[in-house]
Amino acid sequence: MSNIWPPAPTLRPGFKGNLQLTKNGELKHLLTIDGLPKDIITQILDTAQQFVGVAEREVKKVPLLRGKSVFNLFFENSTRTRTTFEIAAKRLSADVLNLNINASSTSKGESLLDTAANLSAMQADMFVVRHAQSGAPYLLAQHGPPHLHVINAGDGWHAHPTQGLLDMYTIRQYKKDFTQLRVAIVGDILHSRVARSDIHALTTLGVPEVRVIGPRTLLPDGLERFGVRVFHDIREGLKGVDVIIMLRLQNERMNSTLLPSAQEYFKSWGLTPERLALAAPDAIVMHPGPMNRGVEIESSVADGAQSVILHQVTFGIAVRMAVMGIIAGNNG
């Protein structure tokens, strides 16, 4: 197995400009945080702030996507991400269709583009796509009709932009100023599209020190070029940090030669109260989920006073509402 992150997906020959943006520089698709302007990231976070309160209303709906059709195309298993996208779309008053991949034509050999073309013919306005292959959402964005918007809900090892954005929202909610922070991302960096999206978002928003911590076998080569500091000792890496983002051990994406066992992983890399104590006293603990308790994180930490993990899930609905609302309004 190659110990590098996959390259960013390539665009069709002759394509010029940023595929994510309209000719007016507004957000048309959300495919990656890499290269996304800081002002658009900030716009999404500010818009999400307005949507957080919707959940507290008696009628938890706004009419922003009324008459629009959102198709959830999840070619990988997901509960948290698919559910929060569905809730977000329904709170925006959209019509939502969840495609049953196991019963779809793709299981019978139909290509991704043919499946998308048929769904577009059903007047889909927005695709939310999760796929095991890096670049699949790009393919749909490049070849879809002009009115179609595509949101990447995770593609291979490449990107998970809405998770990155909800992580940034969570950090901003608790820490306010990105330019004063030290942030540590711990664990299986190599297989983590969340880590990649978080790194791009943190550096774009001006975080002065982003640390990545993990065993050598689970760190991509050349990480320093992304503007991060690499640590192979968790105790050293956690000293004085303000935010700790623990990553799930990506068992489905790795081979067994990379780690001796989950138990050994926890001994060296799991977040325990003793290791958390090395961070700043008011440090927050995050995790994109689902958690493997006793592997990446001890239950007392996951459920402790410094954990904001459940808040991430709540904020994720508002952030996904913001992304869909902004994109649906930009057709230039």
Binding positions for carbamoyl phosphate? 80-81, 130, 160, 163, 289-290
User: Which residues are within 8 A (CB) of 71 and not within 5 positions of it... i.e. 6 or more apart?
Assistant: 96, 97, 99, 119, 124, 126, 127, 128
Beta bridge partners of 240: none
Binding positions? 80-81, 108, 130, 160, 163, 193, 248, 289-290
What is the spatial distance between Cα 209 and Cα 245, in angstroms, rounded to a whole number?
A: 14
Output the 3-class SS for 14-35: CCCCCCCECCCCCECCECCCCC
Binding positions for L-aspartate? 108, 193, 248
What is the spatial distance between Cα 80 and Cα 83, in angstroms, rounded to a whole number?
A: 5
For the chain, the maximum distance between any two Cα atoms, rounded to a whole number of angstroms, is 56
- Backbone angle region of 35, left / alpha / beta, with phi > 0 → left and psi within -120 to 50 → alpha: left
Site of tokens 């990656």: 32
Give the gyration radius of the chain's Cα atoms: 19
Return the amino acid letter for 95.
D
